[in-house]
Chain A
Amino acid sequence: MNSLVVALHLIFFIGLAFFLNGFLLTRRVLLQHSNGTIPSTKSNDFHQIVFVVIDALRFDFIQPKNFTENENYLNQMPFVRHLIEEKSSQTILMRLIADPPTTTLQRLKALTTGTLPTFIDLSYNFIGYQIEEDNILTQVMNNKDRRTISLLGDDTWLALYPHIPFEHLHVYPSFDVHDLDTVDNGILEHLSTVMNKSDESSLIIAHFLGKTNDVSSLIISFFRCRSLWSSLRSKTRRNETKIESNGRTHSKFNVDFRIEKFFVSSDVDR
């Protein structure tokens, strides 16, 4: 091939490079982490937060409908409806709009970093990609409150966060699955044990693949185990009603006392 042809090919590829640079959208990723202090007036309100992700949970699956429609995917979460109606001051249901691409990896990234995606992110859906931007899990890990993080369910989280020291870890492969049950049953097996370890301040992440019936029973089990434990505790501390609202001290007594506040109130509720 003579040099003219090579030169022309080169010009073509340079042009292509310019085109791709202008066309393929990229987002400048900043690797800075937030640092500073939380205002001292802010209280540490929640000793245990259970963050349940249900894969592909469409809004109308959970939304209580006023009439029984004939579809087999509506009104399948009656316990949620019960909670919204009976305990309306303790529940909130909101509609969430996700940004496309609506694929699990991109959405989990958005849910933990708060960032918006671009096309280039699309190609990493099947290859796990460690998150380097500042995110909720890293902030919890570096926070002086020493809240532990536990993970159950979809192992995609591990691919995103390989360096987080999860206190309790029960993950299952999510990619080449042949059923929806294995992951979900695995979570349910371990969830109550993990939740009952309430001597530690914790964030428990449970990512279900999403058989709706199981999620209903999950919520039921969550509250059953709460009520059971509260009845045990209330026998010894029924008289404590004062609520401490500053979060400055983190001794075990105060932490226990704050959980008490929840249990006492739910016991009174029953």
Chain B
Amino acid sequence: MLIGDHGMTQQGDHGGDELNEIETAMFLYTNNKTYFPSRRSKTIRTVSQIDLVPTLSWFLHTLIPFSNLGTMITDVLPFDQRFAAMKMNFQQIEFYFEEISSSLPLTDRLNELRAELRTIFISIDRQRNLNDVEKIFNEFKIEFQTHFRRQWSTFNLKRIFIGLFLMLISCLSMIYRRFRSLINVEFVVFSLAFVAISFSNSFIINEGQCLYYLLQTMILTRRIDVQRKFLLSFLLFFSRTFLICREEQQPFCVDPQWLLTKTSNSFDDFLRLISSIIWSMIFIHHCRKNDFISYFSFLSIIAHWFNWSNALPLFYLSLFCQIISIFFRPERLKMFVYSILLFVVGYRFSLVIFLEYLIYSIVFQSSPLFFAMLADYFFYATGHQPVISQIRWIAAFPTGNSTLNSFFSLIINSLILRGISVVFETFSSQIFVIISLRQNSTIENLLLIDFVKIFITSFSVFLFRRHLMLWKIFSPRFLFQLVSLIVKCVFVVLTMKIRK
């Protein structure tokens, strides 16, 4: 029995629901010349992939799995076995219906067909000929498979509306509280543009670039001095090289290879050197003279960048020491977070974090909407896309084959540490904005903007609930925004002590 699990697009991808991806084959061969019934028709029949399950069970001489929704492919069975096969399949489905009927109502037509098939199979109505039985069985198959496919893609509208309503009134209340400090014409115009991105899949696919244009416009229209304006503009311009493509942009967008491929040529060494020098300067500028732990942490990161095998355990040790020192001096949290970010992001993307650092130094006091857009933009400019398959899991597996004792490796290889690494790597921009902002009021407004953004995105995914790209484009982005908000909230709580 030769089958394909799925097909592929002309580009060789799969995962979606294009005809090329869902159309696959089943090829059967047996040495038994008399098993398959003789067929006159040359046309190739089409069946559901799950119909394989009861059919294979029949060949294997086993019971059909309990939750199966496939139906026997009677065409491949000998005539004298078909009735028994359909009966067994029907009984299995009946058992399943009984269990699931409380949470999933069935249609009237479906119940009619069930009753009819019950009289055929269970009351043993011998009057029907095989052809008729097969026809009714086939109609039953189409009816219930369609019904279940539809049911499992149906939303609970009542709960959606309650949710949207609660989110709306809380957002409106929060906006009313901060109205004077927040709302002006500029804010309204830019925030409308900002949330408009949620309403088009083309915008979402190119969200990195959309946010970039919005930010540049915002910079150029702000009332700040010309030097700062152009400096900001240039810094933002350089950050564009760190955007990476998503699947839907493919023919038109090319990934920057120097950023993604692991090479060990001289250019790579040059990057390592530059990152090390730049971040040394920043650490020296920020750390107090007696803050040995932070220096130690930073040095171990540099050693790791230059592939020194013992850097890894030293780095984790330094993190542990830093955590302890934060209890005594909370202001060291910032350097601690910088250490982790540099480590998980790597020497290449550390250059983007440097750009972020410069930008936040220049606009230390600005509209919260600007910071919100910066945080979102740098999600893309740190080489991410809101696509689950493009999460950089490699951050959880730092290379370094040194001689660790087993206790250490137990910690390093733990799922929690790996999960935290991936969260830090993916949401580095959100974390960075929270630790860079100084004033409580800005933070509050930033969170408020995030809440409003989530509400608008929720509304947009509800609006597009039957859109073809719902599960591929809109929903993953929604989930990423949710996690961004949670990460931001967690860091707001963590950094409460160090803020005025």
Which positions in A face B, CB cutoff 8 Å? 1, 4-5, 8-9, 11-12, 14-23, 25, 27-30, 32-36, 38-39, 41-46, 49-63, 80, 83, 87, 89-104, 107-108, 110-116, 118-119, 122-123, 125-126, 133-136, 138-140, 143, 145, 147, 203, 215, 219, 226, 247, 261-263, 265-266, 269
Q: Which residues of A contact B177 (CB under 8 A)?
A: 4-5
A98 to B104, CA, bound (A): 23
Please measure, in the bound complex, the distance between the C-alpha atom of A107 and the C-alpha atom of B15, giving whole angstroms.
10
Q: Give the dominant DSSP class at A's interface.
A: mixed
B27 touches A116 (CB 8 A): no
Q: Smallest Cβ distance from B271 to chain A, in angstroms? A: 24
Q: How far is the CA of A21 from the CA of B44 in the complex (A)?
A: 42
**Given A59-B25, A89-B34, 11 more pairs with CB closer than 8 A:** A9-B170, A16-B163, A22-B160, A23-B462, A54-B4, A58-B23, A93-B44, A94-B26, A102-B16, A116-B152, A147-B61
* Residue-wise interface mask of B (96-132) relative to A, using a CB-CB cutoff of 8 A (1 in contact, 0 not): 1001100110000000000000000000000000000
Complex CA gap A236/B301 in Å reads 74
The interface residues of chain A lying within 8 Å CB-to-CB of B24 are: 57-59, 95-98
Residues of B within 8 A of A101 (CB): 15-17, 471
A203 contacts which chain B residues (CB < 8 A)?
Answer: 60
Nearest B residue to A8 via CB reads B170
CA distance A125 to B50 in the complex (A): 19
Whether A263 contacts B14 by the Cβ 8 Å rule is no
Asked if B4 and A63 make an inter-chain contact with CB atoms under 8 angstroms apart, the answer reads no
The smallest C-beta distance from B163 to any residue of chain A, in angstroms, reads 3
Which residues of B lie under 8 Å from residue A87 when comparing CB positions?
29
**Pairwise interchain contact B60-A102, C-beta atoms closer than 8 A:** no
Can you report 7 A-B residue pairs in the complex whose CB atoms are below 8 A from each other?
A41-B84, A57-B25, A90-B29, A95-B44, A111-B3, A134-B68, A143-B63
B135: A residues at CB distance < 8 A:
none
Interface residue B35 (Cβ < 8 Å from any Cβ of A):
yes
**B64 surroundings in chain A (CB, below 8 A):** 34, 114, 139
**Hey, what's the 0/1 contact readout for B297-333 against A, CB within 8 Å counting as 1?**
0000000000000000000000000000000000000
CB <8 Å contact, B28 and A92? yes
The 9 A-B pairs with the shortest beta carbon distances in the complex, nearest first, are A15-B166, A57-B4, A19-B163, A114-B68, A22-B159, A18-B163, A114-B53, A102-B6, A58-B7
Name the A residues within 8 Å of B173 (CB-CB): 8
Assess whether B265 is interfacial by the CB under 8 Å rule: no
Q: In the complex, what distance in Å separates the CA atom of A36 from the CA atom of B59?
A: 17
Known: A22-B158, A95-B45. A139 touches B63 (CB 8 A): yes
Residues of B with C-beta under 8 A to A90: 29-33, 35-36
Within 8 Å CB of B92, what residues of A?
34
User: What chain A residues lie within 8 Å of B15 (beta carbons)?
Assistant: 100-103
A206 to chain B, nearest CB (A): 9
The answer to whether B156 touches A39 (Cβ under 8 A) is no
Q: What is the chain B residue whose CB lies nearest that of A145?
A: B61
Q: Which residues of B contact A95 (CB under 8 A)?
A: 23-26, 44-47
Say if the beta carbon of B69 comes within 8 Å of chain A: yes
Nearest A residue to B478 by beta-carbon distance?
A23
Query: By the criterion CB–CB under 8 Å, are A50 and B59 in contact?
Result: no
Instruction: From B17, B158, B166, give the contact of A100 (CB < 8 A).
Output: B17
**Nearest-CB residue, chain B, relative to A27:** B152
> Per a CB cutoff under 8 Å, which of A11, A93, A94 touches B166?
A11
In contact, A25 and B149 (Cβ under 8 angstroms): no
Contacting residues, chain A, for B157 (C-beta < 8 A): 22
Q: Which of B5, B44, B65, B461 interacts with A139 by CB under 8 Å? A: B65
Q: Do A134 and B65 contact each other (CB < 8 Å), given the known contacts A54-B2, A59-B24, A107-B5?
A: yes
CB distance from B460 to the nearest CB of A (A): 12
Of the listed stretches B73-81, B197-205, B273-281, B378-386, chain A binds B73-81
A19 to B5, CA, bound (A): 34
- In the complex, the answer to whether B32 meets A92 with C-beta atoms within 8 Å is no
Contacts of A55 in B (CB 8 A): 4-5
The answer to whether B159 and A139 touch across the interface, beta carbons within 8 angstroms, is no
Q: Which of A33, A38, A53 contacts B4 (CB 8 A)?
A: A53
Q: Are A34 and B95 in contact (CB under 8 A)?
A: yes
Minimum CB–CB distance from B182 to chain A (whole Å) comes to 14
B267 is an interface residue with CB less than 8 A from chain A: no
- Which residues does chain B contribute within 8 Å of A22, judged by CB atoms? 155-160, 162-163
Are A38 and B63 in contact (CB-based, < 8 A)?
yes
Counting CB contacts under 8 A, is B70 at the interface?
Answer: yes
Contacts of B153 in A (CB 8 A): 25, 118
Residue among B26, B69, B92 with the highest chain A CB neighbour number at 10 A: B26
Q: Is the beta-carbon distance between A107 and B159 smaller than 8 angstroms?
A: no
Q: Could you say which residues of chain A place their CB within 8 Å of the CB of B32?
A: 45, 90, 261-262, 265
User: Please, how many angstroms separate the alpha-carbon atoms of A236 and B458 in the complex?
Assistant: 74
Q: Known contacts A16-B163, A51-B1, A103-B6: does B54 contact A63 (CB below 8 Å)?
A: no
Instruction: Indicate if the CB atoms of A80 and B31 lie closer than 8 Å.
Output: no
Query: Which residues does chain B contribute within 8 Å of A16, judged by CB atoms?
Result: 163, 167, 454, 458, 482
Taking a contact as CB atoms under 8 Å apart, the answer to whether A93 and B25 are in contact is yes
Contact status B3-A53, CB under 8 Å? yes
- Given the known interface contacts A23-B462, A101-B15, the answer about A133 and B65 at a Cβ–Cβ threshold of 8 Å is yes
A103 vs B268: C-alpha distance when bound (angstroms): 35
- From B68, B75, B88, give the contact of A115 (CB < 8 A): B68
Do A23 and B160 touch across chains, with their CB atoms under 8 A apart? Answer: yes
Partner of B68, one of A61, A99, A113: A113
Q: Known contacts A15-B162, A16-B458, A35-B63; decide if A116 and B53 are in contact (CB<8 Å).
A: no
Report if B191 contacts A (CB, 8 A): no
**B22 interfacial contact with A, CB 8 Å:** yes
Most-contacted residue by chain A among B16, B31, B36, B88 (CB, 10 A): B31
Chain A residues contacting B471 (CB-CB under 8 Å) are 101, 119, 122
Instruction: Tell whether, in the assembled complex, residue A15 and residue B61 are in contact, meaning their CB atoms are under 8 Å apart.
Output: no
**What CA separation (Å) do A62 and B28 show in the bound complex?**
12
Contact with A along B232-249 (1 / 0, CB 8 A): 000000000000000000
Please judge, given known A-B contacts A96-B48, A99-B50, whether A18 and B56 are in contact too, CB under 8 Å.
Answer: no
Within 8 Å CB of B45, what residues of A?
Answer: 94-95
Smallest beta-carbon distance A166→chain B, Å: 15
Known: A96-B4, A114-B70. A18 touches B57 (CB 8 A): no
Check B152 against A52 for contact (C-beta < 8 Å): no
Q: Indicate if the CB atoms of A134 and B84 lie closer than 8 Å.
A: no
- CB-CB nearest in chain A for B12: A56
Q: Are A45 and B59 closer than 8 Å at their CB atoms?
A: yes
Residue of A with least CB distance to B486? A13
Question: Are B7 and A91 in contact (CB-based, < 8 A)?
Answer: no
In the complex, A11→B174 CA distance in Å? Answer: 11
A61–B153 CA distance with the chains assembled, in angstroms: 31
Q: Which residue of A lies closest to B458 (CB)?
A: A19
* Whole-angstrom CA separation of A21 from B159 in the bound complex: 7
Looking at B25, B36, B47, B52, the one whose CB has the most chain A CB atoms below 10 A away is B25
